[in-house]
Chains A and B, each alone.
Chain A
Amino acid sequence: EDQVTQSPEALRLQEGESSSLNCSYTVSGLRGLFWYRQDPGKGPEFLFTLYSAGEEKEKERLKATLTKKESFLHITAPKPEDSATYLCAVQARNNDMRFGAGTRLTVKP
């Protein structure tokens, strides 16, 4: 069965303290791995899609990487406005899209 596991569940950082969020997955035929940011009471905001192992994408302070078993979202020198829940999802060969439970990030000034 397809599974997506994110760790840690929650992460507290000081402003400027870089770190990484992990997304481990098992899926039958990966079509794409997605990263989203979600603020309370809002719909998830699309960040990245990664398609194959070795691929990397960057956007401002965020960088996503992908291997055959996991993806990392690296946050460099985070700011308080980066505080949110970060969600990872995988799209399988049958086109269903499954999410992890998310990592709740808090960045303190």
Chain B
Amino acid sequence: DGGITQSPKYLFRKEGQNVTLSCEQNLNHDAMYWYRQDPGQGLRLIYYSQIVNDFQKGDIAEGYSVSREKKESFPLTVTSAQKNPTAFYLCASIRDRLNTEAFFGQGTRLTVV
């Protein structure tokens, strides 16, 4: 079955540690996105990537980093520079150009302890 997979579902991190969230898709989608969602709020764009080896900052990129070495994978690293990292993180992918359908993973809930 094709889909977009985020792992882990729950993640706990100590203050001062970096942590990497995984996002993998087997939909052959071109563009991938990372969002952050805080309780009762909408989704805010962290980073997005349209093609392999290229990505752009969204509205809240500070304290985060990404890579796009393969079309299928777009991992997000939450660094110790991110002052308030506890949130629900969502990854999405879009098949661009001819068929703009966008799908989300089930999210990773990150808690800093």
Which residues of A does B touch, CB under 8 Å?
Answer: 6, 31-32, 34, 36, 41-46, 49, 51, 87, 89, 91, 94-102
Supplied contacts A99-B42, A99-B44, 14 more A-B pairs, CB within 8 Å: A6-B42, A31-B100, A36-B104, A41-B109, A43-B105, A43-B106, A44-B104, A49-B100, A49-B102, A89-B102, A94-B56, A95-B48, A97-B33, A98-B45
Q: Which of B12-20, B72-80, B90-98 contacts A (4 or more CB under 8 A)?
A: B90-98
Contact with A101, one of B33, B41, B101 (Cβ below 8 angstroms): B41
Instruction: Pick from B56, B90, B94, B100 the residue with the most CB of A within 10 Å.
Output: B100
Complex Cα distance A89/B94, Å? 13
Residues of A within 8 A of B101 (CB): 46, 49
Cβ-based interface call for B107 (8 A): yes
Cβ-based interface call for B58 (8 A): yes
Residues of A within 8 A of B45 (CB): 96-99
| Nearest CB in chain A to that of B42: its residue | A101
| Structural contact, A99 and B102, CB atoms closer than 8 A | no
| Structural contact, A46 and B104, CB atoms closer than 8 A | yes
* Minimum CB–CB distance for A31 against chain B, Å: 7
| Structural contact, B100 and A42, CB atoms closer than 8 A | no
Complex Cα distance A45/B103, Å? 7
* Minimum CB–CB distance for B100 against chain A, Å: 4
| Nearest CB in chain A to that of B105: its residue | A43
Complex Cα distance A101/B58, Å? 16
Residues of B within 8 A of A41 (CB): 88, 107, 109
Residues of B within 8 A of A51 (CB): 100
| Nearest CB in chain A to that of B104: its residue | A43
Complex Cα distance A40/B69, Å? 32
